[in-house]
Amino acid sequence: MKKWGVILVFGLMVSLYATSAKAQGVWKSLSEVSYKISEDQFGELYVPVFSDNIKKLEGKEVEADGYIIPFEGMFKPEHIILSSLPLAECFFCGSGGPETVMEVMLTNPIKYTSKRVKVRGKLTLNAKDPEKLMYILKDAKLVTE
């Protein structure tokens, strides 16, 4: 009986890891970005240069999991910022880079949670509008397991 319990727990852990690895896989791919220095009317700015792997994801449906980051002091249930890192480590509050966050435009509003969530939507790359994040997930839905 004890042996089967260990096997069952191990199998569950492998299954959870595989599910998490699939969603985390997009973050690994999105980290393959570099930057070039450019200028606009306000001064110097860093413009993303997307790798070929990232460019292949544009327009495709992807899954990403992470933490909802409240922005501008409020939570918008249909337009969220998703971070691959917890709030204390995210791009806006900690040590993460801009490749660790994405804007998510949801088809249905969701409730705020401090727990990890998973979303699925169509990836758009942004290298032109400095008012937006470089990764935008459109027509996204909350993935429930």
Task: Break the chain into its structural domains and give their ranges.
Answer: 23-142
CATH assignment of 23-142, among 3.90.1150.10, 3.10.20.30, 2.40.50.140, 1.25.40.10: 2.40.50.140
**How confident is the model over 16-67, as pLDDT tens digits?**
333 344 456 799 999 999 999 988 888 888 899 999 999 999 999 999 999 9
Looking at 15-29, 91-105, 114-128, which range is the least confident one? 15-29
Residues 6 or more apart whose CB falls under 8 angstroms from that of 86 comprise 67
Tokens of 140: 């996204």
pTM of the predicted structure, to 2 decimals: 0.78
